[in-house]
């Protein structure tokens, strides 16, 4: 029971848990963790010490070159992984609020990891007018920090989307053939 008491605690720890559990075979440096989870390096250092003490993580290397990775021998790893995967979700309203910063949205659909599918070419399909690609990339990075995993997305201007839809574009066909959830539809798809 002692290790489990050390695992849960702060929002920063939850972000880090998601990052490590969704990427169990990947080693991350301190800078990688801070960037991917959008946390300060001080917060990362504090949480790392507790996760290392709980034996959930292991450290390879020393100083700046040190990499942290999930300890596959952690006795509660399977249960913790299942718990985090089952409870990780972001409300659709929060997703739309983040994406609206990028411009005028016309259509947004979730697929892929949001629908527990791994084989889709994208996880979010975004259609809009005058989309700012930099703001869109920042919104996606914010979602990635919350989810702890990489998100694949496709974005199109409305005219381009309508054309692709009309010619049965393979990317769109693959997205719509798999389970998906439409969050916004101002086009009438």
CA of residue 86 relative to chain centroid, distance: 14
Domain boundary among 87, 122, 140: 87
Residues 42 and 111 in one domain: no
**39 is in which domain, residue-wise?**
2-87
Residue 172 has a pLDDT of: 94
Residues 101 and 76 in one domain: no
Residues 127 and 108 in one domain: yes
How far is Cα 58 from Cα 48, in angstroms, rounded to an integer? 10
Residues 100 and 180 in one domain: yes
Residues 82 and 97 in one domain: no
Residues 99 and 179 in one domain: yes
Domain boundary among 34, 63, 87: 87
Residues 98 and 125 in one domain: yes
Residues 126 and 97 in one domain: yes
pLDDT band with cut points at 50, 70 and 90 for residue 70:
very high
Length of the chain: 189
pLDDT band with cut points at 50, 70 and 90 for residue 4:
low
pTM of this structure:
0.78
How far is Cα 105 from Cα 184, in angstroms, rounded to an integer? 8
pLDDT at residue 2 above 50? no
Question: Which pLDDT tens digit goes with each residue over 128-171?
Answer: 999 999 999 999 999 998 888 899 999 999 999 999 999 999 99
Question: How many domains are contained in the chain?
Answer: 2
CATH number reported for the structural domain that contains residue 69 in this entry: 1.10.10.10
Using a CB cutoff of 8 Å and minimum separation of 24, what contacts does 23-30 make?
23/148, 23/149, 24/69, 24/70, 24/72, 24/81, 25/69, 26/69, 27/60, 27/67, 27/68, 27/69, 28/67, 28/68, 28/69, 29/64, 29/65, 29/66, 29/67, 29/68, 30/64, 30/66, 30/68
Q: Give phi and psi for 112, each to the nearest 5.
A: 60, -125
How far is Cα 4 from Cα 51, in angstroms, rounded to an integer? 10
Residues 101 and 149 in one domain: yes
Residues 126 and 173 in one domain: yes
**From residue 141, how far is each of 11, 74, 123, 154 by CA, in Å?**
17, 29, 13, 14
């Amino acid at each position: 029971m002692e290790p489990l008491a050390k695992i849960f605690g702060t929002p920063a720890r939850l972000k880090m848990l998601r990052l490590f559990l969704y990427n169990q075979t990947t080693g991350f440096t301190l800078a990688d963790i801070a960037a991917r989870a959008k946390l300060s390096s001080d917060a990362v250092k504090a949480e790392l010490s507790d996760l290392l003490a709980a034996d959930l993580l292991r450290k390879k290397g020393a100083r700046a070159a040190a990499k942290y990775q999930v300890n596959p021998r952690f006795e509660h790893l399977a249960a913790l992984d299942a718990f985090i995967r089952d409870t990780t979700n972001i409300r659709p309203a929060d997703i739309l609020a983040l994406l609206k910063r990028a411009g005028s949205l016309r259509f947004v659909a979730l697929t892929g990891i949001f629908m527990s599918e791994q084989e889709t070419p994208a996880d979010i399909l975004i259609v809009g007018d005058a989309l700012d690609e930099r703001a869109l990339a920042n919104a996606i990075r914010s979602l990635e920090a919350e989810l702890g995993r990489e998100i694949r997305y496709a974005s199109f201007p409305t005219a381009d989307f309508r054309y692709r839809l009309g010619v049965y574009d393979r990317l769109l066909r693959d997205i719509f053939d798999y389970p998906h959830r439409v969050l916004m539809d101002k086009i009438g798809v």
